[in-house]
Structures are given as C-alpha cells and as structure tokens.
Amino acid sequence: MNKYVIHGKNKLCGDVFISGSKNASLPIMAASLLTSEKIILQNVPDLMDTITMKELLTILGKKISGGGSQVIIEEIDPSPYEAPYEIFRKMRASIAVMGPLIARKRKAKISFPGGCAIGPRPIDLHIHGMKSLSADLRIEHGYIWAQSKELIGKKINLLGNNGPSVGATENVMSAAVLAKGVTIIEGAACEPEVEDLAALLNEMGAKISGAGTTTIVIEGVEQLHGTEHKIIPDRIETGTFIAAAGITGGEIHLRNVNASHIEKPIEIFSLAGVEIEILSNDQIIARGRSIKPVEVDTRPYPFFPTDLQAQLMALLCISEGISIITEKIFPDRFMHAAELCRMGADIKVAGAIAVIKGVNDLSGASVMASDLRAGAGLVVGALCAHGQSEILRIYHLDRGYERLEEKLRNLGADIQRIPQ
C-alpha cells in the first residue's frame, strides 16, 4: 500500500484539466453489454474503478482496447453471465451490470457488491426494479440469481428512504430499453450521470425521454447497436479542486468542467468565501479568499452532493465562525471528522449533523482515509496544514481521482506518493 506525504501551506495556482466522470463512466461501460456491436468511449478516466469495470467486462465476454482516455469495447463471447465476488468486493458499482445482463442475456448471477464504508447502501431498489420488469430473482450464498424469458415494461417507483437511487435508476433504465412495452420510472434520480447514460442509450437506438427529471419514460426496442460517446466531466473532482483553491488561498483555472452540473456547489463554495469566475460552461477560475461559515444539507441533485461533503468540511475547518453540515444521504458519512480533528480541527458530530468551529490553522498529522471522498477531504485539509501530513490508505483515492498527486504538484503542492 502507498500513502501521501504532504507538506502544506503552498498556494495552489495554475491550470488543471478535469477528468471524465467516474460515476458516469461505470454504468456507461456496463451498458456495452446491451449490444454485440462496438462501443467507443471518450474521456474515460484512468482509475482503479474503471480498471475494475474493464476486468468485469472481460469476464463477461468483452474485449477491451484503446489508449489514453479512449476505451473501445468489443464482444468476443456472448455467453458469460456471471459476475464474481472477486470483482464485486472491489467496487460497489459492479451492480450496474445486472440490468444489462438480464435485458440481453436473460439471466445473471451477481454477487452482492462491496465498496466504501460510508454506511448502509442497500440494493433493494435494484431488486425491486428488476422484479417489477418481470425478472425472477432469488438470493443464495451471497449471490443474486436472476432470469427472465421476457422483460415487460411497467410503472416503477424508485424513491427510497433517503431519496432517489442513482444506481437503481440507471440499472432499471438499462434493463427497460430492451423490455416489451413502455416503462415509466417515477422517483427517478436526476443526476447528470443518469442523463449521460440515457444519452448513450439513445445513441445506441433506445427510446428514452425525461432523463434528468423525476419521471423517465422508456419505450422498449428489440435491439441496440454500437456507437461512440464522450463521457461528461467529473463534477466531484471539479468541486474538490475548488475546495483546494479555497483552502490554500490560491487561484486555479479549471478546464474541461461542466459548470451547469455544479450550480449548487458553486453557490455554497462562493458563500464560504471562494471566489468563482465562470469563463464559459467548460472553464472556471476558483480563487481562495477569507473563508466564511455556512450551513448546508447534502441532498440529491440538484442540491449539494454528499460526495463533496468531506471536501467542504475541510475547507470550513479554517472559516471565521461556526458552520453546520447536515448529511441527509448517508447519515454515517462523517468518519473523516475525527481525522480532521487530529489535524487540529474543531468538529463535533451528533448523528447526521456536524458542527465545525473554525480554527486559525491546521497542523500536519498522520490520518487515515476511510473512503474515497473522506480521503479527498483529508488531502484538502493537509494542503493548508503546517508541517507534514501523511494520508494513509490512499487506494481509496485511486478509485476515483486520476493522477491526483500529479495534478496537485503541477499546481504547486508539495505532495509525494511513497510506500506505506
């Protein structure tokens, strides 16, 4: 395992190119299972999660090629339908292959997924959606066995206890494109990643309308064909670099962004004292100023995302007052708070609420990433801390950030990856 060693207090300045969206790439790559024809994807980030998805698709009969941010997916064997635990334990998003497998191959054997330790993330809505489409499912020995002679379109409500499920919306949508008749998803997730998947599926010949709203209508078709598609920019990486500019008092020119996808984060970071200039929809500048306290709830898109909660918390640790963050998606997602306190932060957590009292400075410490976004928050904190910090378990960060230390070094950060 590796760790980051960071010496803080360097202002980050310069240009950074934002990679393609991890959360859009994974279900889009999985959707290649819906056709025997070639799928060419552009702007795919080189991450552990996309590497894992490539491994899974290879097991399921695909040949993966391409270079840089291009991924070419071709079919060499249409028969495999089993997604093993060895892959699923690495990445929760592996569940995204369930809908495509059931839709095209009419059967699937899917392990229950793994992922980050950020609290319960049940897959009951995925199962509910597949059963609603007339798939037969049973659970045995840690696997979901599914089969269907024919998927039948239906009205399905996917609203869960903590709001819409992005993964379930994507999975059901991917299955419904080859179902007989019309499927209506109510309580659908509105995230840009859902829209991007719908765009790919429509390019493949699907008939989907309403993606990006709470009601999605899918008219089933008999088959899909190949296509070429460019993945949207990663809005969470964008927000992470905004936080990095803010906490170091620097000025970062962010390229290859989609400003329309981060309107709420721009609003909240601006309230927190980060000056954000929108040059165009694909370019913004973030400038660090004096940090102000804010109160914010994490909620489903278009509100402030839970995946930026840790990075915002790190920024607010040096604010001039008291901030409150209420986590309404994953109430247990505050494991990074104790690690930030090891760096001198003043944070009190009570249930789903974190109260952050700003301090003058953070100090370097050895801290541990408990999940992907928690790790990003600790990196943001370390960038402004006096002295040396060590971020352990950075394999979490490798799952979701492409060449993070390289991008930070190019902006002036003193960061090294060394064996742990």
Residue 116 falls in the annotated catalytic set: yes
Q: Which of 13, 116, 190, 341 is catalytic?
A: 116
Comparing C-alpha atoms, which of 126, 223, 128, 222 is closest to residue 180? 222
Q: Is 256 exposed, middle or buried (0-12, 13-18, 19+ CB in 10 A)?
A: middle
The pair of structure tokens assigned to 62 is: 């695909």
The Cα–Cα gap between 222 and 411 comes to 50
The pair of structure tokens assigned to 27 is: 């279900």
Comparing C-alpha atoms, which of 102, 91, 115, 20 is closest to residue 60? 102
The 8-class DSSP code of residue 371 comes to: S
End-to-end CA distance of the chain: 6
The Cα–Cα gap between 132 and 63 comes to 32
Comparing C-alpha atoms, which of 87, 84, 18, 85 is closest to residue 48? 87
Give residues with Cβ within 8 angstroms of 202, minimum separation 6: 208
The Cα–Cα gap between 226 and 247 comes to 44
Complete DSSP assignment for 376-389: HHHHHHHHTSBSEE
Instruction: List the catalytic residues.
Output: 116
